[in-house]
Amino acid sequence: MIVTFRNSDDVVECLESLGKSKPDPSFDVYLCENGGDGAFADLCARLSAPGGPCVRGPTDAPCRTDGFTAVEVFTLRGVDRRVYVGNAGDNLGYGGGVNRWLGPLREAADWPGALVLNPDTTVEADALGALVRYAETHRKGMVTGRIALARDPTRIHTRGLRWRRGLAGVAAVGRNEPTGSRPEGVERELDAPSGSFVYVTRACLDKIGLMEERYFLYCEDLEWGLRAKGADSIGYAFDSVVYHKGGTTIGSGSVTKASELATYLGFRNRLLFVYSYFPGWLAWTTIMSFVRALEIGVRGRRANMREALRGTFDGLRGRDGRPDDVLNRHLAKRRNIP
């Protein structure tokens, strides 16, 4: 399951790596393009272009597709794995994009589990197989593995997520640790897998339900993981490895690099999440949010500071879903970048 937004170059690399996966377990690929008709047409053209990762295929999807304005079907070049590309017709956000395929598949098809990947990831040949084996042998409902930095494969990007109440923020477990290291107690540290690389079993999904869509982007993976942790517990498979670029869609990253959209959503959704799961910490989280917003301003990023404050106030007011005003400004700025 891959949600894309006008980043066909990343998707091509991701599918090329999936095409090199070991034959067991078998899988199909489902993509939801959130970027509109032009992005959908560009993605389909890139996938089936000469030298691209796919060839066109005639097979219908094994589930309802009425949630999409159009669906194109491909096969990974050289291997018998279908690739279904759906045009969302609108920007559904991350959880909405995942659910647009996962919901109908949950109703119609018989499958043991689903792997959710970011489009800017590439996978090792046994990445999926290692997750499936770990879930089966350790009876885990949701499993992740080693997510290494694409720009420095010797270092861990994250092993998963941990919510820190006192610091009012999410920690990336294992960040910058050597990729080959195998520290003990990783599973005890995890509150959730990163949404860039998470395998969920069908049985777990039936217990916890689909991703939460009200966040639009950020915190939906943390919230989903906490539900899985409460139901089945979450697992960590050291033998499963992917490489992640990070921030290629909306410019997420450190406070000195994050886009205004990423800043707004990060601050807003932090408050929405805490209100839902740790309401006793809402006042403290609000104070910390204001402090961090001022810190961004001190670093010279006044526009991001304003979005951080806006996000904090909107989170306190319970505003959720797609923030069209902030999103439209972000897209306008991207169009003006030479």
Question: Does residue 201 register a pLDDT over 50?
Answer: yes
Rg over CA atoms, the chain: 19
State whether 182 and 288 are in the same domain. no
- Mean pLDDT for 246-256 is 53
How far apart CA 334 and CA 336 sit, in angstroms, is 5
**175 assigned to some structural domain:** yes
Last residue of a domain, one of 182, 217, 244: 244
- List C-alpha distances in Å: 290 to 21, 284, 321: 46, 10, 22
Cβ proximity of 269 and 263 under 8 Å = no
pLDDT at position 256, please?
Answer: 54
Sign of CA dihedral 328, 269, 96, 175: positive
pLDDT at position 338, please?
Answer: 43
State whether 179 and 127 are in the same domain. yes
Neighbours of 177 (CB within 10 A): 16
Question: Does residue 188 register a pLDDT over 80?
Answer: yes
Residue 175: which domain range? 2-244
pLDDT at position 246, please?
Answer: 79
**250 assigned to some structural domain:** no
State whether 219 and 266 are in the same domain. no
**215 assigned to some structural domain:** yes
State whether 107 and 15 are in the same domain. yes
State whether 210 and 270 are in the same domain. no
Last residue of a domain, one of 216, 244, 272: 244
CATH number, domain of 210, equals 3.90.550.60
State whether 165 and 296 are in the same domain. no
More confident residue, 54 or 246: 54
Q: What are the pLDDT digits (tens) for 44-101?
A: 999 999 999 999 988 889 999 999 999 999 999 989 899 999 999 999 999 999 999 9
More confident residue, 210 or 250: 210
**251 assigned to some structural domain:** no
Q: Count structural domains, the chain.
A: 2
pLDDT at position 78, please?
Answer: 87
State whether 46 and 142 are in the same domain. yes
What band does 209 get if pLDDT is binned at 50, 70 and 90? very high
- Mean pLDDT for 261-267 is 95
**249 assigned to some structural domain:** no
State whether 307 and 186 are in the same domain. no
Strand partners of residue 52: none
Mean pLDDT in the chain?
A: 93
- Mean pLDDT for 310-317 is 96
* Cis peptide leading into residue 23 (ω within 30°): no
Q: What are the pLDDT digits (tens) for 160-185?
A: 999 999 999 999 999 999 999 999 99
Report percent pLDDT > 90 for the chain.
87
State whether 128 and 34 are in the same domain. yes
State whether 209 and 310 are in the same domain. no
Strand partners of residue 200: 114, 142
pLDDT at position 255, please?
Answer: 52
State whether 29 and 79 are in the same domain. yes
Question: Does residue 250 register a pLDDT over 50?
Answer: no
Structure-block tokens of residue 32 = 């939801």
Q: What pTM was estimated for this model as a whole?
A: 0.92
State whether 77 and 39 are in the same domain. yes
What band does 247 get if pLDDT is binned at 50, 70 and 90? low
What band does 251 get if pLDDT is binned at 50, 70 and 90? very low
**114 assigned to some structural domain:** yes
